[in-house]
Amino acid sequence: MSIFERTMIYKKTLILTIVFLALISTSDLWSSNLDIFAMLSLLALGILFVVLFVMLGYHLFQAIRERFINRQRIYLIVIITFTLALSAYEPRGLINYNLLNGEPVLYASRKGAGSCSSNLYLYENGKFRYLYICFGTSSVTGEYKIIGDSIVFVHSGVDFYKYAIYNREEQYLQFKKSESDTTFFYNQWKVIRGTEKLRP
């Protein structure tokens, strides 16, 4: 193999590693908006992980044969190892919603059929995030206000609840899409985590 061909292999492997690292590091920010395609994106990332793992094995084998005299290969091995270790340690990505907004001051969830779940996160900076996970992921983000025992949601162009009533004593939320919505009796979400920081 010529030096040019070897250099091209290094460059292509390095580009693939950087692309994978960028995608996995920010996956929490973009994968929640893919709906049913979220499963396909996770599958693609899984395939990339396996490809990089195989490449790591190949370059390690070649490095041993060369007695570790090829610096380019050693640098590549270090970069791939770091990328795979990081993705295994933090699969949600280093740059996630909690990093940008802090830890949630309230987390509520409701389980549905077929392992589906609805999850609400309220942050101290007045922002909220709703995640619906069911054979894919969809999300709604916006702002909220506390008025008495009600949490009023502010968002645009999305069919989401108008507000929720927070029962602090029994630790659950009841959601309503409008004043005339009568389904809130059945729409109770268990508050998994609530803090004193959640105040009007």
Q: Among the listed ranges 65-69, 121-125, 177-181, which one has the minimum average pLDDT value? A: 177-181
Residue 11: phi, psi to the nearest 5? -65, -45
Residue type, 184: F
pLDDT of residue 131 exceeding 90 = no
pLDDT of residue 31 exceeding 80 = no
The pLDDT score that the predictor gives to residue 41 is 82
The pLDDT score that the predictor gives to residue 187 is 67
- The pLDDT of 43-47, averaged and rounded, is 89
Q: What is the chain's mean pLDDT, rounded? A: 83
- Cα→Cα distances 97→30, 85, 112, 168, Å: 10, 21, 24, 26
The pLDDT score that the predictor gives to residue 200 is 57
Evaluate whether 149 touches 170 at the Cβ level (below 8 Å): no
pLDDT of residue 153 exceeding 60 = yes
DSSP string, 69-114: --HHHHHHHHHHHHHHHHHHH-TT-SS-HHHHH-SEEEEEEEE-GG
Neighbours of 18 (CB within 10 A): 12
Q: Which helix (H) or strand (E) holds 142?
A: strand 137-147
> Side-chain half-sphere of 27: how many Cα atoms within 13 Å?
21
User: Six-digit token pair at 15?
Assistant: 């580009």
Task: Look at residues 174, 172, 177 and name the one whose alpha carbon lies nearest to residue 187.
Answer: 174
Angle at 64 between CA 5 and CA 53, to 5 degrees: 70
Of 117 and 113, the one with more pLDDT: 117
The SS3 of residue 133 is: strand
Task: Give the integer Cα–Cα distance in Å for 174 and 160.
Answer: 13
- The pLDDT of 173-190, averaged and rounded, is 70
pLDDT of residue 76 exceeding 90 = yes
- The pLDDT of 87-95, averaged and rounded, is 80
- The pLDDT of 187-197, averaged and rounded, is 72
Of 185 and 41, the one with more pLDDT: 41
- What confidence tier does 35 reach under pLDDT thresholds 50, 70, 90? low
